[in-house]
Structure 1
Amino acid sequence: MSMTTPPGWYPDPAAPTVERWWDGTNWTAHTRQAPTGAYPATPMAPSTVVAPAPSVRNGRSRAVVLGAVAVAVVAAVVAGVLVFGGDDKGDAPPAAGPTGATPTAPTTSATSDAPVDEEEDEKPTQVDDQLNGITLPVIKGWEKPEFSSDPAPTITTVGTYQCPGAATKKCRHGTVSSHPVGGSSTATPEAVAKEDIVLAVKETFQEDILDTFPYGTMVSHKVVAARPAVVAGRTGYLVRWQVVTDKGPGGYVQSLAFPSPTGSESPVVVRFLFDAGPDGPALTVMDEITRGIRPIGSDTNGGVGTSITPGTPGTPGT
């Protein structure tokens, strides 16, 4: 039985201080600076042995020693090029993946997992998620935030307000962000969405690094929607909770899971957080944004994003 390394960030065999995204089948061109701490286990890249410089004996000139060192360095560079197939672009994907496979290098340009929409327009119409191969629509009343603590591609409602659980912090009435999903790539969208909604609620209503609860702590919740949906040309599944908090109006949290429209179709999750109060976006906006999620490079989603089961959006599905 073959063993497959799940999608995730792994140390780049060609650059120890960089992490590269493994989509479960191939190395992609996405990189980021490696954080401190332990890495997931992955084979080490072949090392390059540099011959030691000759010792200095009996007045041998410094120029001779430096020349020997230069020769050794050049030899090491040449060996590195032969081993890794490198060129002067430096950030091409390594030839071997975590499982020792030899994938074909992707043709997309290298990028990090930060929002990658580079349009100069001050009001972009979409935010690109190169890692997952999708775009998030920037609809009326929403924007791509200039600053965000979340490195994931994100869109938010315009403007901020004082967080109900932290007087010193600013919150948004609505936030939508996309995330890759680790673990098994064979998990169904329904299983991924039901698992992710728990994590999304926990991350939203847990204590932050300043020991505050920006939106208050969760008191209770109920499931208001759980149904299949088609998004970006792929059949997925959404789960939506209404959360009651000890401070403020509470909110609606939704996890929408579906296979990526590119590459190995690794699972993608788009998370929605809407305030439940009168200033929060209408729940129909969740469906509007879902319909606007498209594969990168596509001008149309073919009418996808609608429920494929009976029932009214916002009510429990079958």
Structure 2
Amino acid sequence: MSYPTPPGWYPDTSAPGTERWWDGTAWTAHTRAPAPAPVHTPAPAPSGGGSARAVALVAAGAVVVGAVVTGAVLLTGNDDPAAPAAHASQSPTRTGTGGAPGDDGPSPDGTPVHEDGNVLTDQLNGITLPIPDGWERPERTSGQLLTMRTEKSYECPGASSTYCYPGTVTTRTPGGTDATTPEALAEEDIADAADRAYDEDILGRRTHGGITGHRQTAAGEVTVAGRTGYYIRWKVTTAHGPGGYVQSLAFPSPTGSESPVIVRYAFDAGPDGPPLDLMDTLTRGIRPIGDDATDGGVGSAVEHTP
């Protein structure tokens, strides 16, 4: 049985000599130099004729302690091929306690390790999203996407013994793209977002029997957490079930190097799906971590296109 690795500082294998903060779910953008190892000063040798013998005993003891420490390092290091590494896996290898790397102290921004249950915190991208009433953050998600979803679920219409959710929202950091603007990122992402939500999921299941058609219902610039972003919304029809609405929202992170962030929305159509204007409400609620005063810009700032 595997257990989740607790939040803490762990060696960053992509940057030797650096530790990176693991928030219990994902690697964040916070790094630091490794904490210095404690220095043990040997007791002074006693004076008198027994000094030479005492020095020899101290030296021998140091050799034994050094051997034990070396063995402990080898046993607790990252030599296990199954042990994941920073930026290459979802969980780190714990290396220490009590203020050392891997400790359970406060997060890098000073907030408690256990996040507010009313918000979805994406520390890697420096944002939070409000969790609406009747929604939850699942303990486990597919892939490396940070997700919240409706508490209510139902058996997927296109795949028996598989459960779907009327509404899901995920955040992700785009990779392997040449797109440099929020508009280009949203345009590049929307088809994949629709496929993942209503055509074929990450496990290859056709949960709604596949997408049979789509049309764009809205698009335009929007201010998100003080940054200018762009969103595209599609209405998709599916072989089974009511279909749904999918939206890709791209914007620069409000913190750090302002790397691009994508938020994906997938709401079932029909009376059982979340109200469509909840997408706009959630976009307005996106905040930089630690800042509750930044306004979003959905509403008059959003240009709707037919």
Q: Which TM-score bucket, shorter chain as reference?
A: 0.5 to 0.7
Find the counterpart in structure 2 of residue 12 from structure 1. Answer: 14
Q: Secondary structure at the match of 1:241?
A: strand
Q: Deviations over 1:17-49 (max 9, x none)?
A: x9999xxxxx9337xxxxxxxxxxxxxxxxxxx
Q: 1:219 and 2:212 equivalent?
A: yes
> 2:199, 2:206 within 8 Å by CA — same for their partners in 1?
yes
Find the counterpart in structure 2 of residue 127 from structure 1. Answer: 120
User: Cα offset for 1:107?
Assistant: 4.6
Find the counterpart in structure 1 of residue 115 from structure 2. Answer: 118
Q: Which runs of 5+ in 1 are unaligned?
A: 1-9, 22-26, 31-63, 78-86, 93-105, 110-115
Quote the sequence identity (%): 48
Distance change (3 Å), C-alpha of 1:271 and 1:210: closer
Calculate the aligned-residue CA RMSD, in Å.
Answer: 3.8
Distance 2:62 2:114 in 1: 47
> 1:230, 1:307 within 8 Å by CA — same for their partners in 2?
no
Distance change (3 Å), C-alpha of 1:180 and 1:307: farther
Q: Secondary structure at the match of 2:161?
A: strand
User: Cα offset for 1:279?
Assistant: 0.5
How do 1:150-165 and structure 2 match up within 5 A?
Answer: 150-165=143-158
Find the counterpart in structure 1 of residue 37 from structure 2. Answer: none
Q: Secondary structure at the match of 2:160?
A: strand
Partner residue of 2:241 out of 242, 245, 248: 248
> 1:178, 1:268 within 8 Å by CA — same for their partners in 2?
yes
Q: Which runs of 5+ in 2 are unaligned?
A: 1-11, 23-27, 32-58, 74-97
User: Cα offset for 1:88?
Assistant: 6.3
User: Cα offset for 1:226?
Assistant: 1.4
Q: Deviations over 1:224-244 (max 9, x none)?
A: 111111111111000011111
User: Cα offset for 1:281?
Assistant: 1.2
Q: 1:136 and 2:136 equivalent?
A: no
Distance 1:176 1:91 in 2: 30
User: Cα offset for 1:68?
Assistant: 6.2
Distance change (3 Å), C-alpha of 1:250 and 1:163: same
The residue type paired with residue 90 of structure 1 is P
Find the counterpart in structure 2 of residue 239 from structure 1. Answer: 232
How do 1:134-213 and structure 2 match up within 5 A?
Answer: 134-183=127-176, 187-208=180-201, 211-213=204-206
Find the counterpart in structure 1 of residue 83 from structure 2. Answer: none
> 1:174, 1:280 within 8 Å by CA — same for their partners in 2?
yes
Q: 1:266 and 2:285 equivalent?
A: no
Q: 4+ residue stretches of structure 1 with deviation over 4 A?
A: 18-21, 64-77, 106-109, 183-186, 208-211
The residue type paired with residue 160 of structure 1 is S
> 1:166, 1:212 within 8 Å by CA — same for their partners in 2?
yes
Q: Secondary structure at the match of 1:256?
A: strand
Q: Deviations over 1:170-220 (max 9, x none)?
A: 111000111112246971000011111122122223444665311220111
> 1:128, 1:134 within 8 Å by CA — same for their partners in 2?
yes
Q: Secondary structure at the match of 1:168?
A: coil
Q: Secondary structure at the match of 1:12?
A: coil
Distance change (3 Å), C-alpha of 1:19 and 1:90: closer
Q: 1:90 and 2:92 equivalent?
A: no
TM-score, normalization: structure 1?
A: 0.62
TM-score, normalization: structure 2?
A: 0.65
Q: Quick check: which has more Rg, 1 or 2?
A: 2
User: Cα offset for 1:298?
Assistant: 1.3
Distance 1:181 1:280 in 2: 27
Q: Secondary structure at the match of 1:200?
A: helix
Q: Secondary structure at the match of 2:233?
A: strand
> 2:285, 2:295 within 8 Å by CA — same for their partners in 1?
no
User: Cα offset for 1:248?
Assistant: 1.0
Distance 2:140 2:99 in 1: 33
Q: Deviations over 1:253-300 (max 9, x none)?
A: 100000000000000000000101221112111111111111111122
Distance change (3 Å), C-alpha of 1:117 and 1:138: farther
Distance 2:219 2:69 in 1: 61
